Structure 1
Amino acid sequence: MRLNVAIEKSNIEQERTNPINDDHLNTPRAHPLQTKNKQPPISDRRITFVLIIIVVSALTFGALIIWREAWLQSSLGKPPLASLIAFGIAVLALLIGHRYCADTMINDFNPEDLLVPALSLSDITRKFLGQPWRGLALATALGLSIYMLWQLPGMSPEVSYAGVFLAWGLAITLCMLAFAPEQLRAQLTSPIQWTTNRWMILTLACITLLALGLRTWNIDTIPFTVSGDEAAQGLESLRVLTGELRNPFATGWFAVPTMSFFFNSLSLRIFGTDIVGLRLPWALVGTATLLVTFLLVKQLTDWRLGLITSVLLTTYHYHIHFSRLGSNTIADPLLMTLALFFLYRALACGKLIHWVFVGIVCGLTLYSYIGARLVLVVILIILSYQLIRDPRGLWARHRYGLLIALMGFLVIGAPMIQYALRFPELFNERVTEVGILQSGWLSREVEIRGQSVPEILLDQFLRSALAFNFYPDRKAWYDLQQPLLDPFFGALFILGLGYSTIRALGPNADQRLFPFVAWWWGGTILGGMLTESPPSSQRLFSLSLPVCFFIALGVWRLACMARFALPRIMPNLIPIIAVVIFSIVSVEMYFRDYTPRRIHGGPYAEIATELAPILNELTPTHTMYFFGAPKMYSDFSVFSYLAPGVNWVDITKPLVGPVTLDLIPNDRAAVFIFLPHRIAELQSVREAFPGGEIYEIVRPYDGKVIVTLYII
């Protein structure tokens, strides 16, 4: 045993000191403790076969009950207890099956040993003394950070922030250079082992192209509606282009950090201030998430499981939809995936640059959507988990790395941390609004419902935890009107979640499953249970990635058991079939079923999106008289973004009696726009201004008239 551990430490030390071999696309090396496969006894195969039958039967039974209750009858009260019991039986059978087939070929992803040699202070000192420019770079980075903190409080919104922004970017760059590997050039230019990895690389390239296509094809019309939130963020980005918004280290619309508006303004400048310019950068962010997902899952488990997870996420309608929106919500899973990847690279290899990246990614979360702050919580939970598992070892081996990560976090996050300390109400405004504790929602619900706090919290938890299985989305961000997974893949998700949770927290814990467990449970509680109106798809969106991982793991484990019980079957057949079915069902659901219904954004955003091109065409010659109050007004953000410069007149009060000619001053050409709830007033306008043209806009999906125009 000691010899094996010594061999492992030697291998890891060699990996740490030889950057040329530090290639994430290399085939995983065999674990030194891994035993050779032996022919299993017939009795074990029979037991495993029975367990497979139990797992499949229990999952099918539970899925059918969910399908009946949530899909056919839509009786969305308490989730059926029978389905939860069935899923529990399936998880238990899968855990028992793990004991019989842990050594089969399809399951040989033994985690890398985290016991890397400790990095001493003398090693770091020797590195900086031997290369004085490192110390100079680090000192300059810290000096620039102090300069920013000194300058920002005294700067007004009207002055240019270019100087402090450049100082911020330079500080980050110098911080990374100070801890860059000594053979960085060799590491960056080291060739990938094409011969042994060509199929994996080609497959990953195809997945990336597929993901890019699914997220950018007809991005200006899918989804058709530009939501009010998309348009509002687009307007903030336009303020950057016009010079009205100059401070990237503050919060703006709905307490969203302004840095994301600066990022989005780049695409508006390049591609134009239209729907494509608004949405395209976030589609690229969604595509990048798939690549990092592969690297993370490969780092934690196995490259095959990484490919499966990436394909599932590529074709998952939930991730496709949010990748096609002009909103920074899509950045949440990318930031979490990057942070976890660098954290486990740092724990496995002990390289200082990885710890710097951990801090930098964590610092970036302060500049993104509020949901990205979950990254900080999950990282702290994982470090606490590692500390509990190895109280002395974690601090002894990684204390300097942890301090360097903290330094990187402070360098990149210093401006927003200062802003949060100066204006805590603005920084936490959104949390205060939607948090059930901060907003007083919980105490109000106790009085309204007449239920106790534990009863309400349980209901909140069930609605959040079962958003992928039983309860439909309650917000117009997606408003799928059904759970986020179909009943059968939802059952596989529960299987993988239950298996991972028990394996990560139980005896002989598989520590490499814990980050996904912490991610899912942390997001469910903080982004669902403790917020108003769960399940809300925009707050649970980052969970789309661990959900795909749990589905992949459930399929993987079933394939392992099948390979053990039936050695002659192809080991990869089950995952391939599952991935193909999931992809076809998910993509078809989004593009053929969901998209034509134009649910996203709500009916008023749909009306505004339909009207925008007509308004832009008629604006030079016509005045728009809008009959939308009290449900809709002309200052709606979608109008402001898609049809700027329109001369609006809101007719807020219903027309009573004959309409006088002074409704239109100066006898100018006019367009009267009627929403369905005020269509009765059209007749009065026609009588006052005869000879006009009536134009009706009809929703293609159901043939309903959603808005009527009378043009004179």
Structure 2
Amino acid sequence: MPSPSNVASGAKSSYRETVLIPVLLLAAFGLALFAQMRWLSLRAFDGWALASALLAVPILMLALRGVSREMLLRPAPRETQPSVPAVTLTDERWRIGLLMAAVVATLILLAGLALPSPASGYNWYALLWILAIGCSLAAFAPAPSTWPRLRWPTLAKAQPWMPLAGLTLVALVLRVWQLDAMPATLGGDEGSQGLEAMKVLRGEINNPFSTGWLGVPTMSFYFNAPTIALFGHTFVGLRLPWALIGTLTIPVTYLLVARLTNPGLALGTVILLTGFHYHLHFSRLGSNQIADGLFVALMLLLLYRGYDRRDPLAWGLSGMVIGLAHFFYAGARLTVVLAIAVLLLLLIRDGKQLWREQQSGIVALLSVGLVTAAPMIQYAFRFPDDFNARINAVGVFQSGWLEREQVILGQSALEIMTTQFWKAILLYNAISDPTFWYGTHDPLFGLVEGAFFILGLGYAILHLGNRRLFPLVAWWGGAVIIGGVLTENPPSLQRLITTAQPAVFFVILGLALFLRGVWAAIAVQVGRSFWLTIGTIALVLSLLSVRYYVVDYTPRRIYGHTNSLVATSMAGYVLERVDPEALVVFLGAPRMYYGFGTILYLTGESRGLDVTEPLTAPIGGELANLGEPLVFILLPERRDELAFITPRFPDGTLEVVPSPLDDEPLFFVYRPDM
């Protein structure tokens, strides 16, 4: 017969499982839903929504008190013994030799880059750079005698990876299918980057270690050039490399989240990320911002692999990724900040043990990172304004924006920066993109995703000391602050695309925590059904997100704004209807000029002439005496100036090119009979 104390304990446990946990779970989720509902309704900061969100998280924690969460956050084990043979630089002189070779190659490279540009340019210096990186990595690689024999994986070993392989294939299809039609507008910034890549092909840009258009590193244009050479100056030629980068982000994110937490959360994360409309959109643009998330995920994956396995080569590869990130979009420099933050956390947690166990790895991280980034570090010292051009243009302090706003709004710096903070922080819950890069009027998350995001992010913040959750919180928070709070006009989504991966992870984490409470309430062990439920919900949300992008967003032609829509249509018209020998005379200023990146890229830099001043009398002078075939294109606001063209060029035909959205005139084409 059970003792009274056991009966009381069992009754208390039964009461908690059947009554208390469900009530607390419903309260937590209800508060998160209420907060997200308020934010979706108001599309602005709201105190009641914030209070509800802040209250939802501790109630969720209370519901899960005493409930094991180990299966949710069971990371890859940190091994007590190195998984690879120890690397000791002082005992193996050939490693010192390789490091010295890397240093010498780097010094020669930097000395050459400081000299006046040779006639052949600096392209061949890339070989010296690759050699230096290879030597620095080889210095920390296992000795060849310890390398394992390569064998083809058996079906049994390959089978666990098949879902990820299939998902990556789906991600690829979603990112390359109809790449010239979704979005159907080619943005001006896309076109400008395409023009830079065409300069690489022509040899006009011959230094991969400098910056070009708007301070973007030229290596980005070198990366884009091969597909333009292959497919021509087309949508596909410009966008395909970045679609592949967006696709590659899927398996890398899976590997990172699986190492930090577990494969179940990782699979749920990448299922949702595969169809997440925000990540999908930027993967389909011919612009380099989508690489930010890949660089950060790959850096963290290699850093934690090195830490867990005491693998200096993985540490060194992480340093290489940090260095490479400096040759693409400025946002990828977040890798440096994150690496420092993670190292500081590990130092706080492990103390002197970190250096004792990981000294070779930390040296590898610093050495390979410096060798890889050396050309851009030198460039930053020689040309600081060019290196920091984007930061100087959009930073609230560097550009003088904050001072101007204080005068315009009559507010203090603290008031303005507080507004900046809430606009950036709420980019997934309440605030829509104010720019033409995405331009949707809807926040990035809907009601359900937003509610789970609140719970997942809140839980991770409360466990900030967890070395497996910290990098994801630091990634999201660091990007929001650096790319949002500290730049004008937040949340400008082109600067914040790197937040997509941690944000989606927090959605899945919040969902998993909620379902863990449900499973505890019904006294069911966490098993296959648990993870299948998470995967199914993630799949439904992912499909709904794809539908939003394809069915709701894309047909509205929001991306790129009106000017890019005009430019894309103009370029198509010029390619299809205008003789290559003809000169296009464009009356579009001050709104648009023929040098708009989209027009020149898609038409292969066709010949055009801008009439910048309004015509007030019949045209004469040089324009009137041009003996070559002419085609006049006029924007609607300058339509009346056609009356000053026809006296000199009579008997022409006028064509109205309608907008694909509302059939209103997009531009007019006058073709003189010459």
Spell out the pairing of 1:506-517 with structure 2 (5 A cutoff): 510-517=466-473
| Superposed counterparts of 1:268-347, under 5 Å | 268-347=228-307
1:519 corresponds to: 475
Q: Which moved more, 1:386-395 or 1:253-262?
A: 386-395
1:710 maps to 2:670: yes
1:552–1:188 distance in 2 versus 1, CA, 3 Å: farther
Q: After alignment, is 483-492 or 184-193 more displaced?
A: 184-193
Q: Deviations over 1:105-156 (max 9, x none)?
A: xx35423454745899995147625xx4x44433322221121122210131
Amino acid at match of 1:68: S
1:44 to 1, 6, 16: 16
588-597 vs 677-686, greater mean Cα deviation: 677-686
Bigger drift between 306-315 and 422-431 goes to: 422-431
When residues 87 and 244 of structure 1 are mapped into structure 2, their CA distance, relative to the original with a 3 A threshold, is same
Secondary structure of the residue aligned to 2:233 is coil
Report deviation, 1:628. 0.6
What number of residue pairs does the alignment pair up?
658
TM-score of the two chains, using structure 2 as the length reference: 0.92
3-state secondary structure, aligned to 2:120: coil
- Matching of residues 469-508 of structure 1 within 5 Å: 469-505=429-465
Residue number in structure 1 paired with 2:3? none
Post-superposition CA distance 1:150-173 (Å, at most 9, x none): 221013164332332111111112
- C-alpha contact (below 8 Å) 1:619/1:646 kept by paired residues: no
Query: Bigger shift: 565-574 or 111-120?
Result: 111-120
Identity of matched residues, %: 38
Query: 2:239 touches 2:286 (CA, 8 Å); kept in 1?
Result: yes
1:83 and 2:56 matched: no
State the secondary structure of the residue aligned to 2:470: helix
Contact 1:117/1:397 (CA < 8 Å) preserved in 2?
A: no
Provide closer, same or farther for how the CA distance between residues 489 and 702 of structure 1 changes in structure 2, counting only shifts above 3 A. farther
The structure 1 residue matched to 2:661, chosen from 697, 701, 704, is 701
The AA in structure 1 aligned to 2:498 is S
Matching of residue 555 in structure 1 with residue 511 in structure 2: yes
SS of residue paired to 2:414: helix
Q: Indicate the residue corresponding to 1:537 in structure 2.
A: 493
Range that drifts further, 560-569 or 538-547: 560-569
Cα offset, 1:432, TM superposition: 1.4
The whole-number CA distance in structure 1 between the counterparts of 2:155 and 2:333 is 38
What's the CA shift string for 1:172-225, capped at 9, x where partnerless? 122222322346996573554643662x42211111111001110111222111
Deviation at 1:63, TM superposition (A): 2.5
Question: Over aligned residue pairs, what C-alpha RMSD do you find?
Answer: 2.6
Judging changes above 3 Å, is the alpha-carbon distance between structure 1 residues 241 and 661 closer, same or farther for their aligned structure 2 residues? closer
1:357-416 residue CA offsets vs partner (Å, 9 max, x unmatched) = 111011111111000001100110111112222322222222232112100011111111
2:571 equivalent in structure 1: 612
Deviates more, 1:238-247 or 1:570-579: 570-579
440-449 or 345-354: bigger deviation? 440-449
- Cα contact 1:48–1:100 (8 A) shared by 2: no
Against the structure 1 CA distance between its residues 49 and 189, is the aligned structure 2 distance closer, same or farther, given a 3 Å change threshold?
Answer: farther
Equivalent positions of 1:53-72 (< 5 A) are 53-70=26-43
How far apart are residue 686 of structure 1 and its match? 4.7
1:459 to 415, 419, 429: 419
Gaps of 5+ in 1: 1-37, 71-75
Residue identity matched to 2:254: F
> How far apart in 2 are the matches of 1:605 and 1:237?
19
Aligned to 1:641: 601
Aligned-partner Cα distance in 2 for 1:610–1:463: 34
Partner Cα separation in structure 2 for residue 678 and residue 483 of structure 1: 37
Q: Secondary structure at the match of 2:463?
A: helix
Q: Where do 1:102-181 residues align within 5 Å?
A: 102-103=68-69, 107-114=71-78, 116-117=80-81, 124-125=88-89, 128-129=92-93, 132=94, 134-156=95-117, 158-181=119-142
- Do the aligned partners of 2:84 and 2:142 also contact (CA within 8 Å) in 1? no
Deviation at 1:577, TM superposition (A): 3.8
* Distance change in 2, residues 1:184/1:333 (3 Å): farther
CA distance in 1, matches of 2:167, 2:201: 35
Q: Give the alignment of 1:336-415 within 5 angstroms.
A: 336-415=296-375
Unaligned runs of 5+ in 2: 1-9
Instruction: State the alpha-carbon separation in 1 of the partners of residues 11 and 475 from structure 2.
Output: 38
Counterpart residue identity of residue 586, structure 1: S
| Partners of 1:188 and 1:470 in 2: CA distance | 53
CA distance in 1 between counterparts of 2:73 and 2:29 reads 24
1:620–1:647 Cα change, 3 Å: same
Aligned partner letter, 2:670: Y
Amino acid at match of 1:517: V
Contact 1:44 1:100 in 2 (8 A): no
TM-score (norm 1): 0.87
- Amino acid corresponding to residue 141 of structure 2 in structure 1: A
Give the superposition deviation at 1:342: 0.7
Secondary structure of 1:363's aligned partner: helix
The farther-off stretch of 442-451 and 256-265 is 442-451
Mapped partners of 1:416, 1:121: distance in 2: 33
Cα 1:466–1:645, aligned 2, differ >3 Å: closer, same or farther?
A: closer
Residue type of the partner of 2:346?
Q
> Could you say if the C-alpha distance between residues 187 and 518 of structure 1 is closer, same or farther in structure 2, counting changes exceeding 3 Å?
farther
